[in-house]
Amino acid sequence: MEPRVEKTHIDGGDGIRIPVRRVYLSNGDTPLDLYDTSGTQGTDVREGAPDVRTPWIEKRGGVEEHERSKAPAEGLMPESLRRRTALRGKESVTQMYYARQGVVTEEMKFIAAREKMDAEFVRSEVERGRAIIPLNINHPEIEPMIIGRNFLTKINANIGNSAVSSSIDDEVEKMRWATQWGADTVMDLSTGKNIHETREWIIRNSPVPIGTVPLYQAMEKVDGVPEDLTFDIFMETLIEQAEQGVSYFTIHAAVLLRYIPMTADRVTGIVSRGGSIMAKWCLAHHQENFLYTRFREMCEMMRHYDIAFSLGDGLRPGSIADANDEPQFAELRTQGELTKIAWEYDVQVMNEGPGHIPMHQIQENVTKQMEYCDEAPFYTLGPLTTDIAPGYDHITSAIGAAMIGWYGTAMLCYVTPKEHLGLPNRDDVKEGVIAYKVAAHAADLAKQHPGVQEWDDAISRARFEFRWEDQFNLSLDPDTARKYHDETLPSDGAKVAQFCSMCGPKFCSMRITQDIRDYAAEHAVAPEDAVAVGMQEKAAEYRDSRSG
């Protein structure tokens, strides 16, 4: 059979079509279907991504269309994607709400087929708050996915322009690029010009949920002066983004006034942008964080769109020196308090976590998060396990990410090689995504998640049997695997060779093992008996036969 890779769909019943990357193997084994996040690639971005969910949303009903509070500016947004109205639930339209009613939504069925789990189990995890399905009703292009520790570990890629550089097109392209390599969600952290339109272009083309930190846009509205922020400006921003289709908001509601002075003695103080902005606001006004005091008003709004909270960790440590300290865990406890409030409103919640943590202090983060936040999904940034390697923080943090994933973190926010140094370009985004796919898969293996090891086994068999094309096609990044192989042995002949460039033809250990195995089979000796049955004679035979 011709080895190849194909993007296709499997039938999930009820008209549900699950995207997969199907790898056809040269030895005729059953093709392997891999989880696929890539959506549509290579099409005109003015067309947007296909609508997956509208029929499901309409079928459930309970929503009404309304004029948007803000629509994208003409010129900056193609007419084909420019929407003047948005949907809003008359009451709760969250997946948690449906789960609590005992309803298995189409989104849950989609996820069940995608994750090879039972749909009722998906529902029960969402009901319990142990998993979330981020999908604003205004983002019907989403191919539903779930974030929870009893499912595959997910990764998030951050994109976003800044005051210093980059454009709308760049950001849409980065989103596509990130999903091509496996990003399960994308956060748009833009802070510069055209923030509204950039986000809308991204959402209209995205097959994955888009998260934001609404505070960044709110800050634009007060000319970058934290003290001038108000809850009304913030809420207006939330609604604007709700209408666009953002699926989760990072909200730094747990940075309390009394925690701020605890950070003054840190080596690196407050490193979260959102955390520092709210800290400055609190100190300037000597008032409690309005995101905390008016948290219920946000819950009340978000339940009408099905937007999830990603409760920010504004006081996360910014260095190994500050790991697992008092302000960090004080904030985490407040995140837990807020989690339970959001649940009162059927609003889905995950909790953000650090940051910079040495390996021996990682597990405590997960243990405390599960305890304080009643097992709501944990979503961590790395953590970086050392500070000494700027330029390689995708690696310092992939180590921590793999471990924290194993311990039970549901989603890992990627870190690129540019972390602490500059803005990631296209190559950096790919490096970050791949490092985090590695971490997430390593975590799933360590958790012994059902079916996960099949992928490793398929590639190991291909490797052992010198099925080079299969090995490339099964790789997380087939392009790079093929390129690296071809640097040393470029000819097509080398791709069917029973050896590789590392050892050359003479010393190939895999070939020798195959000889051993063939020999055992030929002589009909069960492996465990091979020695016992007196192989002296056979050995002599074998020695003689090798000249033939």
In the region spanning residues 125 to 164, those forming contacts with its own copies, defined by CB under 8 A, are 162-164
Among 131, 195, 403, 404, binds its own copies (CB under 8 A): 403
- Provide the minimum distance between the beta carbon of 534 and its own copies in the complex, in angstroms, as a whole number: 9
Residues 165-184 contacting its own copies, CB under 8 A: 165
The tokens describing 65, both together, are 């269309």
Per rule CB under 8 A, is residue 542 in the interface with its own copies? Answer: yes
H/E stretch holding 21 reads strand 17-24
Q: How much is the CA Rg of the chain, to the nearest whole Å? A: 26
214 burial via Cβ count (<10 Å: 0-12, 13-18, 19+):
buried
Backbone angles phi, psi at 67, to 5 degrees: -60, 135
Q: Which of 177, 181, 216, 466 binds its own copies (CB under 8 A)?
A: 216
User: Is 267 a residue that touches its own copies (CB under 8 A)?
Assistant: yes
Q: C-beta of 271: minimal distance to its own copies in Å?
A: 6
Phi-psi region of 4 (alpha: psi -120 to 50; beta: other; left: phi over 0): beta
Say if residues 66 and 85 touch (Cβ distance below 8 Å). Answer: yes
Question: Are 433 and 182 in contact, with CB atoms under 8 Å apart?
Answer: yes
Residue 382 interacting with its own copies (CB under 8 A) = no
Count of alpha carbons within 13 angstroms of residue 62, beta-carbon side: 16
CB of 243 to its own copies, least distance (A): 24
Which of 41, 45, 7, 21 minimizes the C-alpha distance to 177? 41
- Among 156, 168, 434, 469, the residue binding its own copies under the rule CB under 8 A is 434
Q: Which two tokens stand for residue 328?
A: 């960090």
In the bound complex, what is the minimum distance in angstroms from residue 509's beta carbon to its own copies?
4
Shortest CB 547 distance to its own copies, Å: 10
CB-CB contact of 201 with 168 (8 Å): yes
SS3 173: helix
- Report strand pairing: 32-35 vs 154-159: unpaired
**Residues in region 512-541 near its own copies by CB under 8 A:** 512-517, 519-520, 525, 527-531, 535-536, 538-540
CA distance 60 to 173: 33
The distance of closest approach from Cβ of residue 362 to its own copies in the complex, given in angstroms and rounded to an integer, is 9
**Candidate residues 81, 262, 301, 330; the one interacting with its own copies per rule CB under 8 A:** 262
Q: Which of residues 80-119 bind its own copies (CB under 8 A)?
A: none
Applying CB under 8 A, among 422, 450, 451, 498 the residue interacting with its own copies is: 422
Question: Shortest gap between Cβ of 350 and its own copies (angstroms)?
Answer: 22
- In the window 224-243, what residues touch its own copies (CB under 8 A)? 224-227
Q: How far is the CB of 406 from its own copies (least distance, A)?
A: 5
Q: Which of 104, 301, 341, 423 is the binder for its own copies (CB under 8 A)?
A: 423
Q: Which two tokens stand for residue 525?
A: 């000796």
Binding segment (CB under 8 A) for its own copies, from list 89-97, 203-211, 338-346, 477-485 = 477-485
- CA–CA gap between residue 347 and residue 322 (Å, rounded): 32
Q: Does 191 bind its own copies (CB under 8 A)?
A: yes
- Residue 115 or 322: the one with the smaller Cβ distance to its own copies is 322
Does residue number 474 form part of the binding site for its own copies (CB under 8 A)?
yes
CB closer to its own copies, 96 vs 439: 439
**In terms of CB distance, is 34 or 81 closer to its own copies?**
34
**Binding segment (CB under 8 A) for its own copies, from list 116-124, 144-152, 270-278, 336-344:** 270-278
| 391 binds its own copies, rule: CB under 8 A | yes
How far is Cα 120 from Cα 102, in angstroms, rounded to an integer? Answer: 9
| Closest distance of CB 536 from its own copies, Å | 5
Sign of dihedral through CA atoms 103, 105, 111, 112? positive
- Between 179 and 263, whose beta carbon lies closer to its own copies? 263
10 is a site residue for its own copies (CB under 8 A): no
> Residue 496, interface with its own copies (CB under 8 A)?
no
Chain centroid to CA 502 = 34
Alpha carbon distances (Å) from 390 to 315, 385, 418, 421, 505: 21, 12, 8, 7, 40
Candidate residues 50, 261, 450, 451; the one interacting with its own copies per rule CB under 8 A:
261
324 contacts: CB under 8 Å, gap ≥ 6: 317, 357, 361, 364, 365
What residues from 359 to 378 belong to the interface with its own copies (CB under 8 A)? 359-360
- Binding test (CB under 8 A) with its own copies, winner from 67, 487, 493, 524: 487
Task: Name which of residues 293 to 332 contact its own copies (CB under 8 A).
Answer: 318-321
Alpha carbons 311 and 347: distance in angstroms, whole number? 12
290 binds its own copies (CB under 8 A): no
Q: State how far Cα 107 lies from the chain centre.
A: 18
Q: Which is nearer to its own copies, 239 or 458 (CB)?
A: 458
Range 438-457, binding its own copies (CB under 8 A): 438-439, 441-443, 445-448, 453, 455-457
Parallel/antiparallel/unpaired status of strands 349-353 and 378-381: parallel
Q: Tokens standing for 337?
A: 């308090």
Minimal distance in Å, beta carbon 258 to its own copies? Answer: 5
Would you state the structure tokens that stand for residue 414, as one six-digit string?
């990627």
HEC secondary structure over 349-384: EEEEECCECCHHHHHHHHHHHHHHCCCCCEEEECCE
